[in-house]
Every structure is written in C-alpha cells, then in structure tokens.
Amino acid sequence: MEVTSIPFLNQEEYSYFYTFFQEFDNSSTSTTIGENSTKRRKTDGPIMDENDPFNDTFFNTISFQETSPPSLDIGQFEFKVPSSSFGVEVMEDRERARKTSLKLESGTSANEGGSRRLWVKERSKGRWEYYNSDECPNDEFKKAFRMSKVTFNMICEELDAVVTKKDTMLRMAIPVRQRVAVCLYRLATGDPLRTVSTLFGLGISTCHKLVLEVCAAIKNVLMPKFLQWPNDERLEQIKSEFGSISGIPDVAGAIYTTHVSIIAPKVNPALYYNKKHTERNQKPSYSTTIQGVVDPRGVFTDICIGYPGAMTNDQILEKSVFSQRFNMGHSKNVWVVGNANYPLLDWLLVPYTHQNHTWSQHSFNEKISDVQQIAKDAFMRLKGRWACLQKRTEVKLQDLPVVLGACCVLHNICEMNNETMDESLNFDLFDDEVTVGGENSRGKSVNAVQVRDSLAHNLLHHSH
C-alpha cells in the first residue's frame, strides 16, 4: 500500500526516525507500542514541539500500523513496523515468495507441493493392460477388436511412423498400440466414448481425437495397399473366379450400395432424408451412403462414400468416379454386376425386371443373384464387424467419410488375412431395392440389351 500523506524527510528527521526504531527493537519490555512510544518520548527522547508537523505524522503512522501494517515507500527504502522477529519474518516472506514463483513457473499449483498438473487426471488402464498382455486369450482379443493379435500387430507396424507421438516435458505420449486399439474398439463395438474412455484410461475428448487421427492414418497409409482396383493379373483371376460361380464371362466385380444412419444435419437436411427407411421405421431417418464393388472373396476393390441418402443408387453411380472411369473407356472387356437398383449399361449387368420371364431370362436372373449375393454378404460382414455402422452415428458429417473409409479398409484386411467373423455378429441389411425404370426406359443402351439377351441365351444352353 502506498501512503502519499507523509512528506519527504530531511536528514535530521530521518536520523531521529531511524534511531527510534533501532532502540525500540532492543527494548526488553512487554508493553504495547503506543505505551512504549509515549514513555520514550517523555524520558529519553527530545521534547517535541506541538506545532511540529512531523510529530502528528509520526503518531498517526504508528496507530495505523497497529491495525493493518502497510509498506511505506520512502525514497529507495522500504519500512515495515519493527518487531523482535523483523529480520526473520522478512527472510521467511522472501523464501515463500521464491518457492511460490518456482511452483507457478513449473506449472503446478501452490497447494499441491510438487504433484502433477491439475489437468492430468489419473485413470485406471486395467482393461487395456489386460488386452495388451499375454494373459488375454486370442479369442477374447478378437471379440473386442474383430481381429487376431497377429493382424492387430501388423496394423500397428504399418501405422507406427504416422501415428507415433513424441514425449513432452509435461506427459508421456500415448503408445501406438493403445491409439490403434482405441480406434478399433470404438469402430467394432460402437460403444459411447464415455465407455471407451473408462476402458482405456483416457479422456473422452482424447478418445474422440484418437479415433479420427487413426482413421485418417488408415485412409492415407493402408488404403493404397489394401483397397485398390486390381491390376491386370489380379483382374484375370477375378474373372475366372466369378466365371466359375455364375458362368458369366468377364465379370470383374459386384456392386452394392448401403445406407448409414446419421443425425439430421443442420444444413440441407432434406438431401439426407431417407424416405424408404422412414416409411419402414415409422420415424424420420437421415442417412449417408457407401457404394462398393467387391471381388469373389468379398474384398472391396472400389468404394464411393458420402453421397446423401435421398439420392437413388443410379444417381450415386452416375456421379461416382468409378462410373466415369468406365464411361471414358479406361476399363474395357469387363462386366460389373448390380441389382435392380442400377440401370443396364454397356459395362453394368442387371437382372430382368419385367414379368413373365423366359427360361433363359429366369436362368440369367438366378446367376446374377448369385454374384450379387457376394456383394451383399460383404456389406453384411462390414456392418457386422464394425457395429458403429449399425446405428445412428454421432460423428460430424464432414469427418464421417474418413471413418467409413477406414471401416472398409479394415474389412479388407480382415478378409485378406482370413479373419472369420463370429456368427453372433451377423447383421441383416435393410437396404430397400427400387427398380430403376422399365425395360424400355429412356437412355438404355441398345447394345447392352442385345448383349444381355445373348448372355442369357448362352447360359441356358451352356448349362444344359
């Protein structure tokens, strides 16, 4: 506190003021400051003039100090009310101030006594430590993460360079295995982030951040290796395998589109309004889509993610890069098989949709159904493994394509590594089929109609 009513002291007044406190400190009496000051003034000290302005100032200062002692800045000197332990108190105050300053600079609370920072909350990691130990059986590990320990270790090694974070002076970085495990568990079970947080001993926001980071790493690192359109050698193998299944030559894949429920977006919700799901569930339903092409093993060779649920399958196909690649002639002499949701194109085979089929048309539809079932089963395993796709997702719409893409890549890794799925995880798809146009709908390729009729005729006679 700064006192401005005290005038600046001259040399004589300062000498008297300083001598008074020095003698006062050596006094052994137990009388009060006011009594001792009065006695000293009457006996030993010089007689003070009643008109001396310093006299009133001095006693007013002593009286003020008895109630709430301030610090007086006089020139370059600091004065405090003297006591028998004045020097010790000053040293103790300075030491306390120094320790408090060090604690604040180190990021700790003054009341913690060197403990960890307030926002580092200790959480139990018991469940994850069990999963990460040799004590956890492979079957139990696979139930939690939808894959064996061998496949999990492979994914961690692939993502290590991208996912690894460095330790800091404040805390240790979360290990790569734990980061990947948080993501896989969240995708596999669809459990709330609060549950994931408890199991892995991490904060809720940290778990959400890890899921998005690992999904992005899977998309950038693993997708180029495990989800690509096959090269020429692999394409010939796929044609041969599909040919043995259906008898239809040059089939390179089966296409299917599924819907993933989402929370109604704030911007343009009508684009994501799913009419068919709403009618079936008797409540408003909003969705986004996954269009995928699979090989005979159910491995995705192409995906198109993120188009609104209000769009039909043929509209999504028309806008997809996959369709544009075929329409531009980059992929020749191959067929892709779809269901009645898709149009008949020069490269896309679909079943006959009119009534009163001939024998050859009926046989053709059965073969198409066999190929199409491979794609549908692949999507059933996709949603069965990754339960986050079975219910309305809480991921923001702009982040959702990365998460869905990661699920498709992880599905491929499991299929390629022969990771069987438990029967209890089977999931029935509810993607309503809508017939696209009629047999003579506008825009249908005349050549495609003739080729399909020829294929149907040859299948009937070849089978007999």
pLDDT tens-digit map of 170-213: 788 999 999 999 999 999 999 999 999 999 999 999 999 999 99
CB neighbours of 311 closer than 8 A, spacing ≥ 6? 271, 289
The confidence band for 414, taking pLDDT boundaries of 50, 70 and 90, is: very high
219-248 tens-digit pLDDT = 999 999 999 999 999 999 999 999 999 999
Average pLDDT in the chain: 80
Could you tell me if 414 and 452 lie in one domain? yes
pTM of the predicted model as reported, rounded to 2 decimal places: 0.72
Distance of CA 127 to the CA centre of its chain: 20
Could you tell me if 385 and 245 lie in one domain? yes
Closest by Cα among 311, 322, 124 to 229: 322
Please determine, for residue 161, whether its predicted confidence score (pLDDT) is greater than 80.
Answer: yes
Please determine, for residue 89, whether its predicted confidence score (pLDDT) is greater than 70.
Answer: no
Separation CA 358–CA 360 (nearest Å): 5
CATH number of domain containing 190 = 1.10.472
Three-state SS at 366: helix
Is 297 domain-assigned? yes
Is 257 domain-assigned? yes
Closest by Cα among 43, 36, 89, 96 to 66: 36
The confidence band for 62, taking pLDDT boundaries of 50, 70 and 90, is: very low
Please determine, for residue 440, whether its predicted confidence score (pLDDT) is greater than 60.
Answer: no
Is 107 domain-assigned? no
Neighbours of 424 (CB within 10 A): 7
Could you tell me if 204 and 267 lie in one domain? no
Is 238 domain-assigned? yes
Could you tell me if 217 and 240 lie in one domain? no
Q: What pLDDT was estimated at residue 461? A: 75
Q: What pLDDT was estimated at residue 122? A: 54
Choose between 123 and 296: higher pLDDT. Answer: 296
Could you tell me if 57 and 196 lie in one domain? no
Q: What pLDDT was estimated at residue 77? A: 34
DSSP state of 395: S
Three-state SS at 245: helix
Choose the final residue of a domain: 225, 252, 277: 225
| Single-letter code of the amino acid located at 95 | E
**Sequential DSSP letters for 363-419:** HHHHHHHHHHHHHHHHHHHHHHH-GGGTS-B-S-TTTHHHHHHHHHHHHHHHHHTT-
Separation CA 309–CA 289 (nearest Å): 6
Q: What pLDDT was estimated at residue 429? A: 87
Choose the final residue of a domain: 199, 225, 251: 225
What residue numbers bound the domain in which 174 lies?
126-225
Question: Number of structural domains, the chain?
Answer: 3
Please determine, for residue 284, whether its predicted confidence score (pLDDT) is greater than 80.
Answer: yes
Choose the final residue of a domain: 225, 249, 273: 225
Separation CA 208–CA 196 (nearest Å): 9
Separation CA 3–CA 394 (nearest Å): 62
Separation CA 162–CA 143 (nearest Å): 26
Residue 258 backbone phi and psi in degrees, to 5:
-125, 165
**Environment class of residue 40 by beta-carbon count within 10 Å: exposed (0-12), middle (13-18) or buried (19+)?**
middle
Please determine, for residue 144, whether its predicted confidence score (pLDDT) is greater than 50.
Answer: yes
Q: What pLDDT was estimated at residue 108? A: 44
Could you tell me if 439 and 393 lie in one domain? yes
Could you tell me if 310 and 392 lie in one domain? yes
Q: What pLDDT was estimated at residue 282? A: 86
Q: How large is the C-alpha radius of gyration of the chain?
A: 41
Long-range CB contacts for residues 194-200, cutoff 8 Å, separation at least 24 = 197/123, 198/123, 198/124, 199/127, 199/128, 200/125, 200/127, 200/128
Q: What pLDDT was estimated at residue 409? A: 98
Beta strands in 199-358 (DSSP E): 251-262, 286-294, 300-308, 335-337, 348-349
Closest by Cα among 36, 31, 6 to 21: 36
- Give first-to-last CA distance, the chain, whole Å: 109
Is 414 domain-assigned? yes
Least confident of 43-52, 347-356, 411-420: 43-52
Could you tell me if 142 and 209 lie in one domain? yes
Could you tell me if 255 and 306 lie in one domain? yes
The confidence band for 82, taking pLDDT boundaries of 50, 70 and 90, is: very low
Choose between 225 and 57: higher pLDDT. Answer: 225
Could you tell me if 209 and 141 lie in one domain? yes
Separation CA 103–CA 119 (nearest Å): 15
Could you tell me if 274 and 220 lie in one domain? no
Is 239 domain-assigned? yes
Is 152 domain-assigned? yes
Is 88 domain-assigned? no
Could you tell me if 57 and 161 lie in one domain? no
